[in-house]
Every structure is written in structure tokens, then in C-alpha cells.
Structure 1
Amino acid sequence: MQFTIIKYEIIVVSFVALLIFLLIGIAYLTLLERKFMASIQRRRGPNVVGIFGLLQPIADGVKLIVKETILPSHSNTLVYVLAPIFTFFCSLVLWLVLPFGQGHALYDFPLGLLYILAISSLSIYGIIFSGWSSNSKYAFLGGLRSAAQMISYELSMGLVLLCVILVSGSFHLGSIIESQVYSFHSVTLFPIWIIFIVCILAETNRAPFDLPEAEAELVAGYNVEYSSLAFALFFLGEYANILFMSALSTILFLGGYLPIIELIPLPGILWFTVKCLLHALIFIWVRATFPRFRYDQLMKLGWKYLLPLSLSFLLVESSILIIINPY
């Protein structure tokens, strides 16, 4: 009994440490994004608060916290307040099953991929709640758009995950990483990796798929009525999802903590971090270079192109695996 209590205490302490590092990572991901986009657009980016602008994320966070919290008079107050909390909570609990190194996961769950699919499907409810409870037509339309978009692209993403599961033979994230010892899935399943990147861009509502937050049409979408700490929770949830999807793509297609070059003796967690940063830079690069899709183009891409393509790759891959190993 005492051993069980100590074990759970370690898990809680580890989760708090992960939360602190995640919040710091989100803060400096926003700075990296602004600096990277500034260099693409030949600007300086943040360079006033602190050396090279290193204190800018802290200043932005303090600014959001000290602002006045506004509750719309015609909103459903309870649901309105709970929506950002629920969204941020879902973005945090996803990290419980991720292995950052060999044997370094907060909870080593044998059905990790199913857990991730379940929690990521729940996160849409926070956006729907915020759009409905705000009692604003812009927020409501943003919530509807986000729900339709996430449902559309989750189908293709689920088929992509099935392709990875077939090759690795497991739902366990650690086993998926170990199956890439000789060759990363980004090489053997390159087209599926590209489809997955497109899907996670749409899942996180990032440009060019940021239709739920389209400023020109919906002002700011589902979070238009939010301010202060509530808006900060939505903001943190969005960037936590970006980091998580980068980490998940690293695990599924780039071998997680496995080294890219065997001759460079870096710890597994450093390799994992480098690969996650490379995926995060893809998010930023796409935002800086591609224009926003129209909504009909977004749905057409998801239903008429990505879904048939991912289904075709799944059928071809399963056929090849049956031919190679009929038993």
C-alpha cells in the first residue's frame, strides 16, 4: 500500500514538473514563431523586452493575466467559464502517455494511441461550449466550423494511425518507437507522413486551416468574447496542442528518442526535443507562406482528397503486409 502511494506521488510530482516545462516551452514557442516569421518577412520581430526579446513571452503573459475579465451579460456563465478550462485540461492530459526517452513516460499505457484519439476527440467540446455559451453569432459560427473541420480531418488522421499500427504491430507508443530502429517511418511511409502533417495542421486550427478563427469573417471565431485569463487558457491550449502534435509526429514517423545519427552521442530526450522543434518549425513555416483556404476548399481537401488517399494507402499497405507474412 505504501509503495502504491509513493508511486502516485512520483507521478503527481512528475506531472507538475512536466506542466512547468510545458508552459515555458509554449511561451518560447510563441517567441520562436514571431522571430522565425519576422525573418521570413524581413522584419526584426520582438527585440525590446529583454535581450533579443527573450522576456517578451513573460510580458505578454503578465499582460493577459492582469487584464479585466469580462463576462457577456447574455452568456451562459457556467459553461462560458468552464469551456477554456476544459480545453486547456484536455491539452495537458494528452502528455501523460508520451515517452520522452526509453522508459520515460508518466504513464506507460499499452493502448496509448487509443487514449490519444479519445482525448483529442473530447477537446472539440471545449470549443463548441465556448461558441454556444458566448451567445454571439460569430463565436457560434466559429464553434460550428471547428467541429466540422476536426471531424473531417480526424477520419484521415485515424486511417494514418492505422497504417502506423499495422507496420509496428502495436498501439503502444514505446513499441512504435522501437519498431523504427532500422528505418524511420518517415522514410518507409513518406506519403502517409505528409498526410499526417496536413491533418494535424487542420486539427490544431493552424494556418492555412484557421477558418474557425478567420479574422476577416468571424472577427476571432469561438473566442471572440473571451479576455484576460480565459483567453490565455485558449491560447495555451492551442500551442500545447501544437507541441503535442509535433511530439506525436516525432514518435510515429521520426523514431522518437532514437538518434538520427549514431555517431552523435546525445541523450534520447535531446534527440526527441530536436525532432519536436523541427516539426514545430513546419507549423510556423506553413503559417508564414501559405494563404488561408476557403471553407469549401477546406472540406473538399479533407473529404475528396485526403480521406480517399489515406484509405488507399491503408489498403495497399495491408495487402503488402499480408503478401509478405500471410500467417
Structure 2
Amino acid sequence: IPLTKIRLAGFGQFIADGIKMLTKEDIVPFSADKVVHFLAPLALAIPVWLTFAVIPFGRNMSAIDLDAGLLFFFALGAGSELAVFMAGWASRNKYALVGAMRGIAQMISYEIPLVLSTVAVVMIVGSLSLNDIVAAQSAYTFGFIPNWFVFTPWGLAAFLFFMIAACAETNRAPFDLPEAESEIIAGYLTEYSGFKYALFFLGEYLGLFAITGLAVTLFLGGWTAPLPFLNVIPSWLWFFLKFATLIALFIWVRATVPRLRMDQLMKLAWKFLVPLTLINLVVTAIWHFSNAWEFTGAIAARWLLCGAMIGAAYIALGRTLHTNAFPRRTYRYAD
């Protein structure tokens, strides 16, 4: 801290960087559409803030309990495509426009498996209210196993598909093609600086936090404790621990997985994730109706049936990702 001997072990650097970003000069290209250029970061940041209103951070700790809270979340999140297009188009820059087109193609493609993976949860719960979804996971099997959806075959598959699609929706590595520095400078952010760039940066990370909170709510029981006797601990603390774990997972993936090519990105969405999420809906329906099975070994049978269907679909569709769309190049060298 200035003028004192107090050391913050480097944590003050984040605050200093933020202040520096906000106070930098706002440079707008002469040929840019100045109104749209100004509105684009607002169109990204403001709707993301509103999505937090429907997420239950603890027992009775949601700003509003909408009957269609999940639909409200995705309706606001869909506006990010418009903001990205506005930024790329208004900048009048070829790199910004290419980055915007990449971003729109990527977000629209991965929004399909993202939504389909949540439809499985809605099929089981029968409600779009996020508080009802948490309540459906609040019980314990045999008195100690939490009924979180991630502990079912369809729920585990939907959770994995959701996390992959969420990584692409928030432009996180390895899906950060719209901002690939080595190819298109900074993508649709090329002509942004100062406070506007900070708003885009803020909006992207708020989107990451919002979609992580949604993943915790849908698949990890929300604010419920993993064991009954741990319910004495404040519910918001359990939500924060699960939330921090998933954020750490995003950071780990960003640091370890290399960036995909554009063809690999689109192939993963349309040839792998979309068919798998559709098959997972069938598996979810089988799991739901198999609750009526009363013969001996019914629990093991439904686990084996649902797990085998997901595994077979994964293996079959995984083979399509290894097919070569173009023949291998051959080179001729001079003697």
C-alpha cells in the first residue's frame, strides 16, 4: 500500500490493473459506427448481470424465484451473440469482423448442446424453476448419498456436455478462436480500449461465473450439503465451494489444453455433442420411466442399460471425429 509498510503479497496488482484499464484513453476508429461501437459492450455486460437474479446462492438467497427461471437465464444469455456481432461490425476492421463471425458461429453451434443438456434436468424435475431443481436434489439415498443429478448416468453425461459447451460459449480456451491473438490480433476486441474493453472483459468473466453457478444448480445440488449432518454449515458456503471448484477446473483447462482449429471446433459441436445430447435425452426418459421397475436388481439394470447406451453412442460418434475431411498432403522434393 502506498505511503505505508503494509505488503499485500501481490494481491493489490489486480486492483491496480483494473484502475489502469478503466483510465486508459478510449480510442474510436474514424470510420467506425460510433453509436453501435458504444452500445456493444453494454449489450454484453448488462444482460449478464441480470442472469444472477434467478440463481439460488443459498437457502432463500435468490433475488427472484421465477417459474421459468432457466428460460429467463438462456433468454438473456442469447443476447451475447448480438453484442459480439455489433462489436465486429461497428469497428470497420477486417480482423474484428472475422472474429465476430467466428464468435457467432461458435456460440450458436454450442448453444444447442448447452440447452439440450439442461432439458434432461427439466424432464426429470418437471419444472423450469431453479429453486425447484435444487429441491429435487436435496434428498439422500440410504441416508448418506446425495441425490445430485451428477451421480446418475444421464446426469454425469449431461454435466460433461454442459461444461464443454459452457467453455465454448464463454470463449474460454481451448475454444478461444474469436480472440486468437496469433491469427486475428484480438478478434472483435481489436478496436476497443479503455473502459469499453474493460466492459467486454467484465462481461466475459461474469458470463463464466453465471454459467458456472448454473452448472452447480443443475447438476451439483446447488446449495445442498454432500452429507446430512453437514447441513449445519451455511448453505451459501456449500454453493461457493462447488462454484470455486468448477472455476478452478476452467482455469486448469485454459492452462493445459491447446487451442482447437475452426474445423475441429465445429465438428466437435455438430458431429459429436449435438447427437450425444439428443441420445442422452432418450437415456433420461428411460431412466425416468424405469423408476417403476420392481424386480430384483432393478437398480443395477437401469444403471447398466443407461450407461451402456451412453457408452455405445460415445464410442460410435467418437469415430467420426477421427475421419479426415481432406486427403493427406504429399510433397515432392527436387533431386
TM > 0.5: yes
Q: In the superposition, relative to structure 1, how do residues 287 and 115 fare at CA in structure 2: closer, same or farther (>3 Å)?
A: same
2:161 corresponds to: 195
Structure 1: runs of 5 or more not aligned: 1-48
Deviates more, 1:165-174 or 1:254-263: 254-263
Q: Is the 8 A contact 1:250 1:256 kept in 2?
A: yes
Shift of residue 130, structure 1, vs aligned partner: 0.2
1:278 to 245, 249, 273: 245
User: For 1:56 and 1:215, how far apart are their aligned partners in 2?
Assistant: 24
Q: Is the 8 A contact 1:152 1:299 kept in 2?
A: yes
Q: Does 1:174 align with 2:131?
A: yes
Shift of residue 167, structure 1, vs aligned partner: 1.4
Q: Does 1:70 align with 2:36?
A: no
Deviates more, 1:73-82 or 1:163-172: 163-172
Q: Does 1:263 align with 2:220?
A: no
Q: Is the 8 A contact 1:138 1:222 kept in 2?
A: yes
Structure 2: runs of 5 or more not aligned: 1-5, 141-146, 294-335
Q: Is the 8 A contact 1:173 1:251 kept in 2?
A: yes
Q: Is the 8 A contact 2:58 2:235 kept in 1?
A: yes
2:331 corresponds to: none
User: For 2:100 and 2:248, how far apart are their aligned partners in 1?
Assistant: 27
Q: Kindly indicate which of the two structures has a greater share of residues assigned to helix.
A: 1
Listed as ranges, the matches of 1:16-95 within 5 Å are: 50-95=7-52
Q: How much identity, in percent, do the aligned residues show?
A: 41
2:275 to 291, 308, 326: 308
Q: Does 1:153 align with 2:153?
A: no
User: For 2:7 and 2:49, how far apart are their aligned partners in 1?
Assistant: 29
User: For 1:90 and 1:218, how far apart are their aligned partners in 2?
Assistant: 27
Which structure has the larger Rg over C-alpha atoms?
2
Q: Does 1:230 align with 2:187?
A: no
Q: In the superposition, relative to structure 1, how do residues 126 and 50 fare at CA in structure 2: closer, same or farther (>3 Å)?
A: farther
Q: Does 1:211 align with 2:177?
A: yes
User: For 2:89 and 2:252, how far apart are their aligned partners in 1?
Assistant: 32
Listed as ranges, the matches of 1:311-326 within 5 Å are: 311-324=278-291
Q: Does 1:297 align with 2:264?
A: yes
Length, aligned pairs only? 278
Q: In the superposition, relative to structure 1, how do residues 50 and 243 fare at CA in structure 2: closer, same or farther (>3 Å)?
A: farther
User: For 2:32 and 2:16, how far apart are their aligned partners in 1?
Assistant: 30
* Alignment TM-score, normalising by the size of structure 2: 0.81
2:58 to 101, 106, 109: 101
Shift of residue 117, structure 1, vs aligned partner: 1.2
Shift of residue 289, structure 1, vs aligned partner: 0.6
Shift of residue 50, structure 1, vs aligned partner: 4.9
User: For 2:251 and 2:81, how far apart are their aligned partners in 1?
Assistant: 23
CA RMSD of aligned residues (A): 1.4
